[in-house]
Amino acid sequence: MPKTSAASKPRLALSLQTGSGIAGWPVHRSRLRRWVAASLARDAAIVLRLVGGREARALNRDYRDRDYATNVLTFVYESADAARADIAICLPVLEREARTQRKTLEEHLAHLVVHGVLHAQGMEHDSADDAQRMERREREVLRRFRVPDPYAWRAAGFGRRGDLGYSRPTRTTR
């Protein structure tokens, strides 16, 4: 996939998967595609996989040495021509966090998709400055879809930053 010029939209190859015991995505494929496309600054090949708690826990344990299910994991593959990544979103954690943070399931899913895609393009939140840049970009993208500020719940006292469980393990392929 060649890089895009400044005047053209990034190209997207998107695959959707569901893990064992997951009936399907809670939103239509076209909506997922729009969220991913709006997050892109370059061409991309993205796999979105909706998983259950057992699979999310195994992935988090095997790739991050953390023995619990987390909400989103982004596996980035090195590529010079496009952003390439597998993004696993854990449905039970997504549902629990949406309730806790008083968001709709769709709003929280949009946020996790955008968050994962930004990681796929190299954005991080390891430092306060990086986190601020990433959160600003998330808000910009989500605003286009009328999704409220995904971090407003923090100001309302629903938890600490670390409660989100965002993570991005890296797997290098050649």
pLDDT (tens digit per residue) in 12-55? 999 999 999 999 999 999 999 999 999 999 999 999 999 999 99
63-83 per-position pLDDT tens digit: 999 999 999 999 999 888 999
As a whole number of angstroms, the distance between CA 86 and CA 47 comes to 5
Q: Residue 103 corresponds to which amino acid?
A: K
- Residue 105, Cβ neighbours under 10 Å: how many? 15
Q: How far are the Cα atoms of 1, 48, 83, 102, 163 from residue 45, in angstroms, in the given order?
A: 9, 10, 6, 32, 29
Strand partners, 46: 14, 85
pLDDT of 127 over the 90 cut:
yes
As a whole number of angstroms, the distance between CA 154 and CA 57 comes to 25
Give percent of the chain with pLDDT exceeding 70.
84
